């Protein structure tokens, strides 16, 4: 039986990352950026770009005094910064990542949303890299890999939520075959965490894990309410990633024109005008922002995840209905100066092949449920898929390669669960009884409390063993995950 999270924390978890790092004499050199004060300009993480079809990077996961919300925090980072470097790729590229584990706990790496092999040294989430260890990942992106916004984060079961909450995440961009004219392109990696007065990330109470923790700070590229400056009439491209462990982001940027190119690996044929975006944990938006005039605030509106009524804790379940108008300023857009020349039209975009009229090889039901079980200290909530908690040794779903399957995702619990399937993108066919009239491909889809969603998945390539799970990563760590094998 794998070591429990509580045991792992006692052995040196993220809650004591800073002090533990000092006590074992790890030398931490700050390679990170200058401290931006609150209200400073939005910084971009360092970028690594593929050359001649290849990108080779070293990612060192380590504890340190890292910059968060303008403060030195005892956190975890890749290569000394939060977020880690942005990796820019093209379809057909080979991405090689040398992961170095300088943590005091086991970790590994998942390239969220990339359509790459789950086997061997590919996107294999069953690899465990122990403290002091290394692992060389190699991912081959197919020639027809969808462009879009992806990301990377640890995926060692039981530790995922804590490690992401402490700062381990970074962006991956797969560039368009044909560029879209914009005056600026920005990556907005949104995360949340909690820092105590000492700059430590406090241990999360068990109740908050069950509800899905929400951090007290919501940050963009590790910054608190940074500024973005633009001229009127400019078209910018914002690549937005929700890396929060549990927080749903309902985003608004009133006063500017917002056009959504797509979500996750999906694309609309022509950009869709939107007023508001809902990103569940794990979701990404590829957004065009055309400035009008005047300043605007990027707001995260409070989003009720319909957690259990009457539950206590600092998670969303603790919010009372009167708080629902709450919002947090994530960034401030300042529009001033001479108007910019009108940008060229966006070329027509193409998403993956539409599966709505494809023959279906198999139909399955995936039931996401919560129930009561017994834990060490008494009653514990259980988080299951088709009645079972995750067991790495068991394969829950075996799929014959080559076909299109239709999965009905059924949530029998009183809280929302964002469902994530690795490797193979899902096309959403029906949400809560209503058919969708757009071809939507997402790798995380919200399954509302007591609701259902129908998706289709083409298992046309990439055999091997991987996983699907709730992307409220506390729920994933508590067992709401299953293993899938395509063969
Ligand atoms: Cu972003 Cu299996 O996770
Ligand atoms: Cu969940």
pLDDT digits (tens, 9 = 90+) for 119-170: 999 999 999 999 999 999 999 999 999 999 999 999 999 999 999 999 999 9
Q: How many degrees, rounded to 5, is the angle at CA 86 between CA 15 and CA 204?
A: 20
Residue 155 CB–ligand 1 contact under 6 Å: yes
Answer yes or no: is 346 within a domain: no
Number of domains in the chain: 3
Helix (H) or strand (E) holding 126: none
Q: Which of 174, 200, 230 is the last residue of a domain?
A: 174
Let me know if residue 345 belongs to a domain: no
Q: What angle (nearest 5°) sits at the alpha carbon of residue 451, between those of residues 449 and 454? A: 135
DSSP for residue 9: H
Is 343 a domain residue?
A: no
Q: Which domain holds residue 326?
A: 184-335
Ligand 1 contact, 475 CB (< 6 A)? no
Distance between CA atoms of 128 and 124, rounded to whole angstroms?
Answer: 9
* 8 Å CB contact between 32 and 67: yes
* Contact (CB, 8 A) for 51 and 86: no
Q: What band does 33 get if pLDDT is binned at 50, 70 and 90?
A: very low
Residue 357 domain-assigned (yes or no)? no
Whether 279 is covered by a domain: the verdict is yes
Mean of the pLDDT values across residues 67-71? Answer: 92
* Confidence tier at 237 by pLDDT (50, 70, 90): very high
Task: Say yes or no: CB of residue 112 within 6 Å of ligand 1.
Answer: yes
pLDDT reported for residue 312 = 42
The answer to whether residues 189 and 149 belong to one domain is: no
The mean-pLDDT minimum among 65-69, 384-388, 429-433 falls in 429-433
Residues 138, 46, single domain; the answer is: yes
The atom of ligand 1 lying closest to the CA of 469 is: 2
Q: Taking 90 as the threshold, does the pLDDT of residue 442 lie above it?
A: yes
> Does 122 sit in the ligand 1 pocket, CB within 6 Å?
no
Minimum-distance ligand to the CA of 248? Answer: 2
Measured in angstroms, how far is the CA atom of residue 342 from the centroid of ligand 2? 44
- Whether 111 and 50 map to the same domain: the answer is yes
Read out DSSP for 276-302? EEEE-TT-EEEEEEE--SS-EEEEEE-
| Domain membership flag for residue 347 | no
Q: Judge whether 353 lies within some domain.
A: no
Which residue's CA is the nearest one to ligand 1's atom 1?
A: 112
Can you give the pTM of this predicted structure? 0.90
Question: Are 166 and 19 within one domain?
Answer: yes
Same-domain status, 253 and 106: no
Residues 150, 267 within the same domain: no
- Clarify whether residues 148 and 192 are in a common domain: no
More confident residue, 427 or 14: 427
Interatomic CA distance for residues 46 and 48, integer angstroms: 7
Contact 242, 281 (CB under 8 A): yes
Ligand lying closest to the C-alpha of residue 281: 1
Do 68 and 82 contact (CB within 8 A), yes or no?
Answer: yes
Boundary residue ending a domain (118, 149, 174): 174
Q: Is residue 387 domain-shared with residue 283, that is, in the same domain?
A: no
Residues that place a CB less than 5 A from ion ligand 2: 417, 470, 472, 475
Kindly identify the ligand whose nearest atom is closest to the C-alpha of 469: 1
Q: What is the pLDDT of residue 171?
A: 98
DSSP 223: B
Do 327 and 368 lie in one domain? The reply is no
User: Which CATH number do you get for residue 403?
Assistant: 2.60.40.420
- Section 375-389 average pLDDT: 83
Q: What is the mean pLDDT of the chain?
A: 88
What pLDDT score does 3 carry?
39
Whether 137 and 14 map to the same domain: the answer is yes
Do 77 and 165 belong together in one domain? Answer: yes
Which atom of ligand 1 has the smallest separation from the CA of 155? 2
Tell me whether strands 170-174 and 71-78 are parallel, antiparallel or unpaired: unpaired
pLDDT of residue 318: 44
Q: Is 323 exposed, middle or buried (0-12, 13-18, 19+ CB in 10 A)?
A: exposed
> Does this complex have an ipTM over 0.95?
yes
* pLDDT attached to residue 323: 47
Same domain? For 161 and 74 the reply is yes
pLDDT at 305: 85
pLDDT in tens, 81-122: 999 999 999 999 999 999 999 999 999 999 999 999 999 999
User: Is 21 within the bounds of a domain?
Assistant: yes
């Amino acid at each position: 039986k794998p070591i429990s999270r509580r045991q792992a924390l006692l052995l040196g978890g993220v809650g004591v990352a800073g002090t533990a790092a000092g006590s074992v004499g790890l030398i931490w050199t700050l390679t990170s950026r200058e401290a931006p004060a609150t209200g400073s300009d939005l910084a971009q993480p360092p970028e690594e770009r593929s050359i001649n079809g290849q990108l080779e990077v070293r990612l060192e996961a380590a504890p340190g005094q890292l910059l968060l919300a303008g403060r030195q925090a005892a956190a975890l980072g890749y290569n000394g910064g939060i977020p880690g470097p942005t990796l820019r790729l093209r379809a057909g590229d080979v991405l090689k990542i040398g992961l170095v584990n300088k943590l005091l706990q086991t970790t590994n790496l998942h390239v969220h949303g990339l359509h790459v092999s789950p086997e061997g040294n590919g996107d294999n989430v069953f690899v465990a890299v122990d403290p002091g260890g290394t692992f060389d990942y190699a991912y081959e992106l197919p020639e027809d890999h969808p462009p879009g916004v992806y990301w990377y984060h640890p995926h060692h079961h039981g530790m995922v939520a804590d490690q992401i909450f402490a700062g381990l995440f970074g962006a991956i961009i797969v560039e368009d075959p044909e560029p879209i004219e914009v005056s600026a392109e920005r990556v907005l990696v949104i995360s949340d965490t909690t820092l105590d007065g000492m700059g430590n990330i406090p241990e999360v109470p068990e109740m908050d894990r069950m509800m899905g923790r929400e951090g007290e700070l919501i940050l963009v590229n590790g910054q608190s309410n940074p500024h973005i400056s633009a001229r009127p009439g400019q078209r910018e491209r914002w690549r937005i990633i929700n890396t929060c462990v549990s927080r749903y982001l309902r985003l608004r940027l009133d006063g500017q024109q917002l056009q959504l190119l797509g979500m996750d690996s999906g694309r609309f044929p022509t950009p869709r005008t939107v007023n508001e975006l809902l990103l569940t944990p794990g979701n990404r938006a590829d957004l065009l922002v055309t400035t009008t005039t005047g300043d605007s605030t990027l707001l995260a509106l409070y989003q009720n995840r319909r957690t259990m009524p009457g539950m206590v804790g600092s998670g969303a379940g603790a919010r009372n209905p009167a708080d629902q108008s709450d919002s947090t300023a994530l960034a401030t857009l300042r529009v001033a100066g001479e108007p910019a020349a009108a940008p060229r039209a966006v070329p027509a975009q193409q998403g993956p092949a539409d599966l709505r009229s494809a023959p279906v090889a198999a139909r399955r039901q995936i039931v996401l449920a919560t129930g009561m079980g017994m834990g060490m200290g008494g009653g514990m909530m259980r988080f299951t898929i088709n009645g079972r908690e995750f067991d790495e040794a068991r394969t829950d779903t075996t799929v014959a390669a080559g076909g299109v399957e239709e999965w009905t995702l059924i949530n029998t619990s009183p809280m929302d669960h964002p469902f994530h399937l690795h490797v193979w993108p899902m096309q959403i066919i029906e949400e809560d009884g209503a058919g969708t009239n757009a071809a939507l491909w997402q790798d995380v889809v919200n399954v509302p409390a007591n609701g259902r969603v129908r998706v289709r998945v083409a298992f046309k390539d990439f055999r091997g063993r991987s996983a699907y799970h709730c992307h409220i990563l506390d729920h994933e760590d508590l067992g709401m995950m299953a293993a899938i094998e395509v063969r």
